[in-house]
Structure 1
C-alpha cells in the first residue's frame, strides 16, 4: 500500500500547507478552555503535523530508539494522566542511554528541540546559499508564510538537517548530520566544486528548502537528465511541493518555478506527481477567473503529463502495481477536467459498457469515468447513475456516485440532485450532505451559478438541511470568478439579510475572499505569461559563484482556507496515523 510514500504527500504536505497560515495554532496549547477552543484543536495541524513531527523525531533518534522511548513512556504513564513533558523526558532518556544524541554535543537539549516544534506554530523555510568554490553553505531559517513568503513573527526552530550531494547521493541515511539552532548557520558541504546538494533526505524533516539560483540550476539539470532517479522520489516530491508554494507565496516567480518544474515531463513516479496535482489543482481553480491563462496552463500540464499517461494509459494493465493504479486514479480526473480527448473517450467507452452490457467500471476508475461520462452525456445518463445510487447496496459505491453526480451540466438534473440532498427524504444521509453539495457546485464551471439560483429559490430549505446558510453559500462564494458575479452575490446577500440572520456577516465576508483571488490572478498574470509565451530555459552552470537569495516579490494571494485532508479510498495511511496517535494515549489531548 506504499504507506511511507503516501504519508509524505498526503500527510506531510497537507500539514505544511495548513501550518503556513499566519494564524496557525501550535500543537500544544494548555490554555484551551472552551468547547470552541477544544473543537479547533481537532484540525489538520493537530493530526497531520503532529504525526509529521513524530516521524521527524523517529528519524532523528532512529526507529528502534524511538520505539523504545514510546514503550517506556506508555509503561511509565499507564493508567495515569500525562503531559507532553512526560513523553519528551522518556524519549530523551533512551536517546542518551543509547548514544543516539551523543553526536550533537553536550549543549544540545532534546526537550527544547521538541518544544520548539510543539509550543510554536508554523515551520521554517531554510534558505541555502552554497559557495561551490569553498563548499561552505550558509543556511538562514525564517518562518514560512503562504500569504507573504515569510512571517513577520520572529520564530526560531531547532532544526535537524540532512543533505545529499551529487558525488555522494546517499538518501538512505536519514540521521541528521547537523542541528540548526540559530537564524543563520554556516556548515561545510564536505566537497568543493560544482555539484547539486539537496536538503532534507526523504523529506523526514518538517521544513521547506530554497536554494540560491546557481544551486537550483544544478538541481534542475540533474532532474532533467539521467541523474533524476538518483534523487530520491520523496525529495523530488518535496521539490515539486515547495516550488508550487514558493510561487504562490511570492518567494519565487512562477516563470522560474515552472522552468524548474519542467522535469515533470519525464517523471513517472507517484509522489512527485501527486505533489504536482495538488499544486496544479489549486492554480487551475484560481485561474478559472482568467480563461486564457487557464488554457495556457492546461497546455503546459498536458505536455508535462504526456509521458506518465502514455505509460499508465486510461485502462488497467495486466501486472501493474497498486501504486500505478492509484496514480491513474489521481491523474485521470485532472486530464479529463482539462479536456484531454483520450481521457474523455475512455470515460465514455467504459460508461457505455456499464450502461449497455452491465460491464463494471474498474473500481479505481469510477471517480473519473462517472464524472466525465456525465459531462459528455445526457440527462438520461444522470438518471441512470442516480438510480444506481438509490438501489446500490454497497455504500463505498454510493459515496463515489455522490462525489460524481454533480458533474452533470444540466439544470434539471442538478436541481433534482440538490433537492434530494436538502429534502427530508432519507435518500442522502445527513453526514453526506456536504460531500454531495460540493459535488453539485464543483462538478463543472457552470454549475456554481445554477446551484446559487437553487439556493435563492429555496434558501429556507437549504439552511434547515445544513443548520446554517454559511456552509452551502461558502461553496458558492469560493467559486465566483468575476467581479460582477461577486457584486451580484453580495447584492443578494444584502437583500436577504433578514433571512440569513446570524449567518449574514460570514456569508458576505466570504465573498471578499473571491475578490482577493481575482486580484491575485491579475497580479501574477504577467509572471505566468512570461513562462507561457517563452521556452523552457537552458540552465547556466558556467560560473560557480555564491549568489544572494532572490528578493521576494510581495504578492498577496487569496485568504488561506485550511485544506481538508483528501478522502482516499481505504486510506491505510490515515488509519496508521490514527493508530499511532491513539497509542500515545492521554498525551494526545495535551500534546496535540
Structure 2
C-alpha cells in the first residue's frame, strides 16, 4: 500500500482551507462645477486639485538610465516638460499640480503671444507639498483669461524596483539565450503619473501628450501609446524615440515600455492599426491565443459601439503587452494595454483552465476600456464604477458572442453577482457612486463595488430596458461625451434618451427609471425579497427589506426597485429575463395558477437581490431539488445554494432547515452549483479550524455530499468536454483532496510519482490538486523536484501553480525554505502575497511555522513584499495570519506585534492587532455552534457520517497491514 493511502484517512482529521480568488482588476461624474460659495477644504478634500488652471498639452522628455557606465546613478531618470496651460478664472496667482519626484530642479513660465507661441520664459518660485504630492507655483502676476501659457519644468527621479509602487519601474526577465535582462515600463492608474512627470494627475484634466524617450542604444524594444515618428541617435550614443501625439486623454493612460529584446510575438496586420501581442523574446510562438482574443474582441466592439477603434485617433496603436511583472491583472493604457504574463501566454497543455477562462474575459475587459474609460472617462474616482462596471459587464457579455464555447454568461453569477451579494451585505458597504478623496480611498474604490456590483447593476438594467435599448444608450453616451470626463448624470441622460425613443418601459407604467437609477447608484446594499405563496389561491405576497448578513443592521428606509421574474413547476420560464413587473414598493402581490408547486423567483439569478420563501414553498423547492433537479435551471439551483448559506448566516434560516435543503448536492455535478457550495462550506470550516476533531467530522459530511461529483467527473479531463466541466473538476478535486478524500489524494500522488519517476506529464487541467497533494504528502526530495521544475519553467501560469503546491508542505523546514523563497526575486513581487497565503492555506498546522518566519524576517518581508505599495501586501499578509492561529498562537502573535518589532505605528501592525479580536470572535462562534452544525449535518447527511473514532481505527488498521 502506498504512502499516500496510509496517511489519507488520517488526514481527514486535519483542517485545511481553500482559497482561489482571481487577481483583482485594477486592474482600472460629477461633470458640473462646484458651488460658487466658499467650500472648506477638509483633511480629505485637500488632496484634490483646484480647477483654476487646466492643462492643454504636454511635451515630455524623459531620459532613462539603466546600469550603463555613465556619471548617472543606476536606474534613475531625468525629465523636462513643457505644459501648455490656461486659467479658467480671473486673478489666478498660484498654479497647483501634482509632482511625486525626487527633485524639481526648475520651473519657468512663458506667456503665448498671438499665434507665435510662447514668449520669453521667466523663472518662478515654487514649493512641493509632500503629503499631497503638490507642486505649488507662485506667480508675480495673475494669469490672463483666454491666454495660453507654457510651463517648463525640469526634474529628476528614480525608477521604482518592481511593479508594486507603480510609476516608472523596472522589472526583469530571461531572454531566449538564458540571459537576464532589465526592462522599464509604467503603471500610472490611478494616481501615479505624477511619479513620472509633474502633471494634473486627476482623470478630469484631459490633455494631449507628446512623449520623447531617451535610452541606451541597445534598448531597441521601445513602445508607447502611439506610433514612433522618429528615432534619433544622439552625440553620446544614446537614442531618442519621438512618439506621435496622443488623443486628448487623462494622465493615467500614458504609458511606455523600454527593453532590449521585447518583440512582437503575434500580430494581425489586417487591422489598422495592426493588433499586436508584445512580450519577452523567449515566448515567441506562445501568444497566438491572446492574439485571437484581441482580434475578435476588437471586431465585436467596433460593431457594437459603431465607433471603430481605428477612428478613435490616427496615431493610436492596438498593442497588448505581456509583462513578466505587473501589479494587477491588466491595465487599459490607451494604445498599449499591459497584462500580467500569466494571462497572455496560454498553452492548453500548460495552462490551468481557470486561467485560460479568465484570460478571455480579461482581454475583453481591457479592450472595452478603450471606449468606456479612455474615450470617455469618469470625472473623478468616485465614479470609478462607470469605467470598471462597463468593462466588467462587457468582459463577460461581449466575450460570449465571440467565444461561446466558454459559456461566459453563466459564469457572470459566480464571478460578479454572488461576489457582490456577499460583499455588499455588510453594514459598512458603500454605494456605486461614493465620494473618495485620499489616495488610500481611491485605491480602495477599485474593488468589488466598482467592478462586481456595477457589472451586475448594468446587466440587471439591460434586462429591464432590453438589450437593444441598452446598446443604443451606450452609443449615445459615448458619442455625446467623447474625449471628455463624464459623470453618473451623463450616463443617466443617455439611458433615458434611448428608453424614450424605444418605449422600452411601456410595460411598466408606474415605474420611474430615474428613481431606479438614483437608488441603485447612490444607495448602498441590496434587498431580500420575502415570498409567501398561498398555494390554494395562487396569490403570492412579496415584501422587501435591505439584507444584512449580520442580522443586526438597520433595514428600515431604502426601498429598492426590484425586477420581478419567477418560474414555477407548471410554468418553467427560466430563460425569460425581462421582468414581469418592477416592484418599487415595500410590498406587492402577484397571482399565479392555484397549485401546490415549487416557485422560484429571480430567473437565473440575474437580479441583484436575495430571495427567501415561506416554509411550505422551501419544502417544495427542496423536494424538487432532491428528486427532479433538472426541472430547475442550474443557475437557480446555484442561487438556492448561495441564498441558503446567506440566510443561515443571517439567522433567517435554521441550520437544520438549510442543510436539509442542501441535501440535493449529493447528486449534483454542476460547476455553478458547487462553486457557492464550496464557498459556503469553507466559511463554516474556517470557524471550526481551532477544533480539529469537529472540523474533521464536518469534512466527512462534506465529502459525503461530494462523492457523486468526484466519481462522475473523474480525475482526468474527457475529450471535448466544455471548459465549465473542466473547471468543475478543478475546483471539486482541489477541495476534496484538501479535505482528505482518499482516492483524490491517491490519484494525485500517483500522477506526481509518474511525473517524477517516469517523466509522464501531468494534465494541465488537474495540476493544482496534484501539486498540492504531492507537496503535502511528499518529502524533501519531492519538494526539491518541484522547486527545480519551477525554476526551469517558461510558463508563469504553471509556476504559480507550483508555488501553490510548494506552500502546502507540512514539514516546517521545507515550509520555511518556501517562505524564504518569497523574499528573493525568484518569486515575483506581484506573487509574494499569494505565495505567503498559500503557506497558510496548505495545512492548518502551518500557521505556527508562518508565524515564526514572520517574527524572524519582518524587516526582509517589509522590503521584499513592498509594505508601502498601494495594495498594502504586508498588511494583508499579517492580518491573514491572525485568522489561522489558535488561541495560544494569537496570544504569542499579539505580544510580538505590540512589543517585539520597531514599527509600533506602522499601519500593517495596527491592522494585524485589530484582526486578532475578529479571529477570536470567529473561534468563539465556532465553539458555540460546532455541535449545532454537526447535528444539522448529521441529520441531513446523504450517507452516514463515519465517526472520528472509526476514521482513526481505519487509518491505524491500514498502517499495520
With normalisation by structure 1, the TM-score equals: 0.86
* Residue from 437, 444, 452 that aligns with 2:836: 437
1: distance between equivalents of 2:458 and 2:528?
19
| Greater relative contact order structure (CA < 8 Å, 6+ sep) | 1
| Deviation string, structure 1 residues 233-253 (Cα, Å, up to 9, x no partner) | 111101101111111222212
1:155 to 548, 555, 558: 558
Aligned to 1:55: 459
Q: How far does residue 219 in structure 1 lie from its aligned partner after superposition?
A: 0.6
For residue 543 of structure 2, what is the aligned residue in structure 1? 140
**Partner in structure 2 of residue 466 of structure 1:** 865
Q: Distance in 2 between matches of 1:138 and 1:527?
A: 32
Give the aligned partner of residue 422 of structure 2: 17
Structure 1 position 295 matched with structure 2 position 683: no
Q: How does 1:362-401 map to 2 (within 5 A)?
A: 362-401=763-802
Task: State the distance in 1 between where 2:780 and 2:558 align.
Answer: 56
2:654 to 250, 253, 268: 253
Match of 1:411 in 2: 812
| 2-structure distance, mates of 1:96, 1:339 | 59
Counterpart Cα distance in 2 of 1:274 and 1:533: 22
The alignment partner of 2:499 has SS state of: helix
2:607 to 205, 225, 229: 205
Rounded to whole Å, the distance in 2 between the matches of 1:81 and 1:426 is 40
C-alpha change, 1:267 and 1:16, in structure 2 (3 Å) is same
Task: Determine which structure has the larger strand proportion and give its number.
Answer: 2
Superposition deviation, residue 265 in structure 1: 1.0
CA distance in 2, matches of 1:507, 1:435: 17
* d(CA) in 2 for partners of 1:467, 1:318: 44
Instruction: Kindly indicate whether the alpha-carbon contact (under 8 Å) linking 1:144 and 1:151 is maintained by their aligned counterparts in 2.
Output: no
Q: Given that residues 637 and 673 in structure 2 are in contact (C-alpha distance below 8 angstroms), is that contact kept between their aligned partners in structure 1?
A: yes
| SS across alignment from 1:198 | strand
* 1:234 and 2:635 correspond: yes
1:277-296 to 2 correspondences below 5 Å: 277-296=678-697
Residues 59-458 of structure 1 aligned to structure 2 (within 5 Å): 59-105=463-509, 107-148=510-551, 151-152=554-555, 154-185=557-588, 187-226=589-628, 228-422=629-823, 425-458=824-857
Partner of residue 28, structure 1: 433
Of 18-27 and 320-329, the range deviating more from structure 2: 320-329
| Contact 1:296–1:532 (CA under 8 A) maintained in structure 2 | no
The one-character-per-residue Cα deviations of 1:114-157 (angstroms, maximum 9, x if unpaired) are 12111011111111111212222222211111222654452221
Q: Distance in 1 between matches of 2:573 and 2:563?
A: 17
Paired position in structure 1 for 2:411: 6
- Any idea what the Cα deviations from partners look like across 1:313-332, whole Å, max 9, x if unmatched? 11222343222111111110
> Of residues 873, 878, 890 in structure 2, which corresponds to 1:486?
890
The answer to whether the 8 Å contact 2:565/2:603 transfers is: yes
- Alpha-carbon RMSD across the aligned residues, in angstroms, is 1.7
Could you give the per-residue CA deviations for residues 148-195 of structure 1, whole angstroms, max 9, x where no partner exists?
26544522211111111111011111110111112222x223211311
Using the TM superposition, give the Cα deviation of residue 429 of structure 1 relative to its aligned residue in structure 2, in angstroms.
Answer: 1.2
Q: Kindly tell me the number of residue pairs found equivalent between the two proteins.
A: 530
Whole-angstrom distance in 2 between the partners of 1:416 and 1:339: 25
Give CA deviations for 1:441-460 in whole Å, capped at 9, x if unaligned. 22111111111011112222
| Higher percent of residues as helix | 1
Flag the 1:502–1:536 CA change in 2: closer, same or farther, 3 A. closer
Question: Hey, what's the Cα distance between the residues in 1 that align with 2:543 and 2:695?
Answer: 35
Q: Secondary structure at the match of 2:607?
A: coil
- Aligned mates of 2:807, 2:663 — CA distance in 1: 33
Shift of 1:472: 2.6
Cα separation, 1, equivalents of 2:937 and 2:641: 19
Match of 2:918 in 1: 513
- CA shift, 1:499, in A, is 4.2
Q: Bigger shift: 329-338 or 279-288?
A: 279-288
Bigger drift between 146-155 and 517-526 goes to 146-155
Cα displacement string for residues 548-578 of structure 1 (whole angstroms, at most 9, x for unaligned residues): xxxxxxxxxxxxxxxxxxxxxxxxxxxxxxx
Report SS of the residue matched to 2:550: coil
Output the CA distance in 2 between the equivalents of 1:38 and 1:78.
Answer: 24
Q: Does 1:475 align with 2:877?
A: no
Query: Could you give the per-residue CA deviations for residues 498-546 of structure 1, whole angstroms, max 9, x where no partner exists?
Result: 4444244322111111101011112322421331343569xxxxxxxxx
Q: Secondary structure at the match of 1:128?
A: strand
SS at match of 2:652: coil
Aligned partners of 2:704 and 2:941 also within 8 Å: no
User: SS where residue 484 of structure 2 aligns?
Assistant: coil
Separation in structure 1 between the aligned mates of residue 778 and residue 852 of structure 2, nearest angstrom = 23
Q: CA deviation at 1:97?
A: 2.4
Q: Name which one, 1 or 2, has greater alpha-carbon Rg.
A: 2
Aligned to 2:4: none
Structure 1 window deviating more from structure 2 (6-15 vs 151-160): it is: 151-160
Q: 2:903 & 2:485 partners in 1: Cα distance?
A: 48
- Give the CA deviation at 1:269: 1.5
Q: Deviations over 1:297-323 (max 9, x none)?
A: 212211211222111111222343222
Structure 2 residue matching 1:129: 3-state secondary structure? strand
